[in-house]
Amino acid sequence: MIHVSELTKNFLDLRLGHVTALECVNFNVQPGEIFGLLGPNGAGKTTCLRILSTVLRPTSGTATITGFDVSTHPAEVRNRIGFMSGNTGIYDRMTAWEMVEYFGRLYGMAEDTLQERITSIFTTLQMYDFKDVLGSKMSTGMKKKVSIARTIVHDPPVLIFDEPTSGLDVLVARKVLETIGLLRDQGKCIMYSTHIMREVEKLCDRIAIIHKGIILATGTPKELEHQHSKPDMEELFFELIDNYERQCRDEGYKAAALA
């Protein structure tokens, strides 16, 4: 469903010069699977997901979603994904119902299927009590629910969640994770990025650990823990990052010595 190969993205930053946000990233995600992207802040998770959602263009490399390339067929890709991140807010001056309806129409859904779909989503997510509340009057939890409803309204085969639980209390976070689990059970292909280890352990079928734009390891959580003989994700994570930093330092010394 999602194929990413040799994906690279460079930025120009005045302070840092040319920054490589992603360097030759490779991974595949299958339907009915949750693929976790685990990394600290600034690791390149958001950049990677933004490229998958066609909002950013890759500097080099390719990414295809359900067979469509993100740089050559962005419209087709956007039609087949649901994307939710900390940056995809909801409109202040629209009610919950209007918001979901608006995006459903933009996805080109027929009016009767759309109304049915919204009714079913609003029932599942228990959103009827704030159906006619304006975005500006909603609590954070309500807003998250509207965002999820907006993400899945057109029933896309691929779903991408970028840190969906950040800033949520335990109750709402749990609800969000449950919903994502349900979506996997429906056979969706799901990408999930986070920096919280427990979520990964609980939810993800396979993970990639990303740091400074480079994927350090890929596999199921169990595999990775075995390979590096660590008792849990957290230890594994620190070990991988420490190794990488040490390697970088050594190479730096070598380069300095050669010079």
Closest to other proteins by CB, 78 vs 184, is 78
The residue among 56 and 203 lying less far from other proteins, judged by its C-beta, is 56
Taking residues 97 to 136 in sequence order and writing x for each that binds other proteins by CB under 8 A, - otherwise, the string is: -----xx-xxxx----------------------------
User: With respect to other proteins, which residue has the nearer C-beta, 28 or 59?
Assistant: 59
Q: Which two tokens stand for residue 53?
A: 């959602």
Q: 194, exposed or middle or buried, with CB in 10 Å at 0-12, 13-18, 19+?
A: buried
Q: Which stretch binds other proteins (CB under 8 A): 15-23, 117-125, 190-198, 246-254?
A: 15-23
Q: Is 155 in the site for other proteins (CB under 8 A)?
A: no
Q: Is 68 in the site for other proteins (CB under 8 A)?
A: no
Measured between alpha carbons, how far is 111 from 115 in angstroms, rounded to an integer? 6
Of 107 and 244, nearer to other proteins (C-beta) is: 107
CB of 92 to other proteins, least distance (A): 6
What region does 160 belong to: left with phi over 0, alpha with psi -120 to 50, or beta? beta
Under the criterion CB under 8 A, does residue 165 sit at the interface with other proteins? no
The contact set with other proteins (CB under 8 A) reads: 12-15, 17-18, 50, 53-57, 74-75, 78-79, 81, 83, 85, 87-94, 102-103, 105-108, 150
